[in-house]
């Protein structure tokens, strides 16, 4: 077995999105030795990925400040396990590496929630954020006819982004009701910053039909999606499209926190006022503590970074803003809660676990997530239940009873390090 490189810091941040980057900068400016590990090729997370990290001055400026503060930016580094107290195992292009820390800040973000319906596995039926990420990485959509369907503000942000890149948006289908959105609008009035964002989105989307109380019931096509059926105002209507970008709000990435023994409440990592989790020395910031958007992630990151550096007094300065943004997060949870009718979209032969080709009929025979795993291999493919886990929670009320390492599929070499514990070659410090 080849030995693994080791990084040793006072504060390790896992996740290089807005929460992680600000946590790292805040801790580093207090004199801590800090590293940020992120599994993407560049820092930035979901909202600032690749393209923005190069072009948007505030993101490029933040990355520059991190470098000037001496923060080690470990891009392309996926944390997969804990091998000893204070030592995580990661995998990257250079193979396995150990990340040793005094304090740990988890800023692992969120992913899209998907729901199955007939045709959802057709090519070009894709996550809304996933399509945006592909376009950010160079996929051309100019002149393509798209429908966005599901729920949540991400649909609007992605629609505006895709339109700006030349796509023709045929329709946006939002499952939330008119009354739910009206009370969300009232919550926006108390958040001038968010209100401005909403108005600018509205302007960017002028002329695009937005249907409320509306959801996709099926996608059709031979080689790829050619059209979809939507349920709207008591009728099923067919719309032609070349892409269906679908997303039913977000689910937090809590797997690493769970593996490390941090307590979860209602599906989110429990934190106190200083973003401390239930495990000593482990903090959590951003979407794993609640889906609240960019600004809340930034503020939580700052609090976590300062608190990890022992600067509680400085961290307190951000409490008021965090409270205000937190109220908005709760309003989002209420507004974009999934309606029960969406449970009826799935048919017996609809595939639910895409990695292992497990149909809904196969799952209906089982009584729990564990039994489904044992009997059908549901959740045992490359995504490790990240897609079908939240789906079966919604459809069947199941919850995974544990998280097992490695958190992501790894090479056999990395797996060997997972079993052997911390075999460190000090000459290879990065």
Interface region with ligand FAD, contact rule CB under 6 A, candidates 103-111, 137-145, 185-193, 418-426: 103-111
From residue 161, alpha-carbon distances to 78, 101, 284, 341 in Å are 28, 38, 29, 29
Closest to ligand FAD by CB, 294 or 342: 294
**Mapping DSSP to helix (H, G, I), strand (E, B) and coil, where does residue 230 land?**
strand
Question: Which residues in 372-410 are b (16+ Cβ under 10 Å) and which e?
Answer: bbeebebbbbebbbbbbbbbbbbbbebebeeeebbbbeb
One residue of 7, 78, 254, 362 binding ligand FAD per CB under 6 A = 78
Cα–Cα distance, 315 to 302 (Å, whole number): 7
Residue 79 touching ligand FAD (CB under 6 A): yes
Closest to ligand FAD by CB, 37 or 351: 37
Residue 15 touching ligand FAD (CB under 6 A): yes
Number of residues that bind ligand FAD (CB under 6 A): 36
Binding track over 121-140 against ligand FAD, x by CB under 6 A:
--------x--xx-------
Interface region with ligand FAD, contact rule CB under 6 A, candidates 15-23, 228-236, 325-333, 350-358: 15-23
Cα–Cα distance, 410 to 416 (Å, whole number): 10
One residue of 294, 315, 391, 415 binding ligand FAD per CB under 6 A = 294
Q: Give 262-265's long-range contacts (Cβ < 8 A, gap of 24+).
A: 262/106
Residue 20 touching ligand FAD (CB under 6 A): yes
Cα–Cα distance, 164 to 141 (Å, whole number): 10
Residue 293 touching ligand FAD (CB under 6 A): yes
Cα–Cα distance, 325 to 308 (Å, whole number): 22
Closest to ligand FAD by CB, 118 or 379: 379
Report residue 418 as tokens: 């997972």
Binding track over 376-415 against ligand FAD, x by CB under 6 A:
-------------------------------x--------
One residue of 111, 124, 163, 302 binding ligand FAD per CB under 6 A = 111
| Interactions with ligand FAD, residue window 146-185 (CB under 6 A) | 154, 157
One residue of 7, 45, 115, 150 binding ligand FAD per CB under 6 A = 45
Tokens 């249907």 belong to 211
Q: Judging by DSSP bridges, how do beta strands 264-265 and 268-269 pair with one another?
A: antiparallel
Cα–Cα distance, 376 to 388 (Å, whole number): 13
Q: How far is the CB of 91 from ligand FAD (least distance, A)?
A: 9
Instruction: Count CB neighbours of 31 within 10 A.
Output: 11
One residue of 38, 91, 174, 366 binding ligand FAD per CB under 6 A = 38
Site residues for ligand FAD per CB under 6 A: 14-20, 37-40, 45-47, 78-79, 107-112, 129, 132-133, 154, 157, 250, 253, 256, 286-287, 293-294, 297, 407
């Amino acid at each position: 077995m080849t030995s693994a490189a080791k990084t040793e810091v006072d504060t390790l941040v896992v996740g290089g999105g807005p929460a992680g980057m600000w946590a790292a900068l805040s801790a580093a400016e207090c004199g801590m030795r800090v590293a940020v590990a992120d599994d993407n090729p560049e820092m930035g997370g979901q909202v600032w990925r690749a393209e923005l990290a190069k072009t948007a001055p505030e993101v490029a400026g933040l990355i520059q400040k991190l470098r000037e503060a001496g923060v080690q930016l470990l891009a392309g580094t996926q944390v997969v396990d804990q091998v000893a107290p204070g030592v995580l195992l990661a995998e990257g292009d250079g193979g396995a590496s150990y990340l040793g820390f005094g304090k740990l800040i988890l800023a692992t973000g969120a992913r899209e929630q998907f729901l199955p319906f007939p045709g959802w596995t057709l090519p070009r039926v894709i996550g809304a954020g996933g399509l945006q990420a592909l376009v950010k990485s160079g996929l051309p959509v100019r002149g393509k006819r798209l429908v966005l369907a599901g729920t949540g503000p991400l649909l609007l942000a992605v629609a505006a982004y895709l339109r700006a890149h030349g796509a023709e948006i045929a329709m946006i289908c939002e499952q939330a009701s008119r009354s739910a959105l009206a009370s969300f609008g009232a919550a926006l009035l108390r958040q001038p910053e968010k209100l401005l964002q909403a108005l600018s989105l509205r302007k960017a989307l002028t002329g695009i039909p937005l249907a409320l109380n509306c959801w996709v019931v099926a996608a059709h096509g031979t080689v790829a999606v050619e059209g979809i059926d939507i349920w709207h105002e008591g009728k099923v209507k067919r719309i032609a499209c070349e892409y269906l970008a679908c997303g039913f709000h977000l689910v937090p990435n809590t797997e690493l926190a769970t593996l490390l023994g941090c307590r979860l409440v209602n599906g989110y990592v429990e934190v106190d006022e200083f973003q401390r989790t239930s495990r000593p020395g482990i903090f959590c910031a951003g979407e794993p503590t609640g889906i609240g958007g960019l600004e809340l992630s930034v503020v939580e990151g700052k609090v976590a970074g300062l608190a990890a550096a022992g600067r509680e007094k400085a961290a307190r300065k951000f409490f008021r803003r965090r409270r205000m943004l937190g109220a908005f997060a709760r309003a989002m949870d209420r507004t974009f809660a999934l309606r029960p009718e969406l449970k009826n979209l799935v048919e017996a032969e609809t595939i639910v676990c895409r990695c292992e080709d497990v149909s809904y009929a196969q799952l209906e025979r089982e009584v729990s997530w564990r039994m489904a795993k044992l009997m059908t291999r549901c959740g045992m493919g490359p995504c490790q239940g990240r897609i079908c886990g939240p789906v079966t929670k919604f459809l069947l009320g199941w919850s995974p009873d544990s998280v097992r390492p490695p958190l992501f599929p790894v090479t056999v070499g990395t797996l060997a390090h997972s079993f052997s514990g911390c075999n460190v070659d000090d000459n290879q410090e990065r």
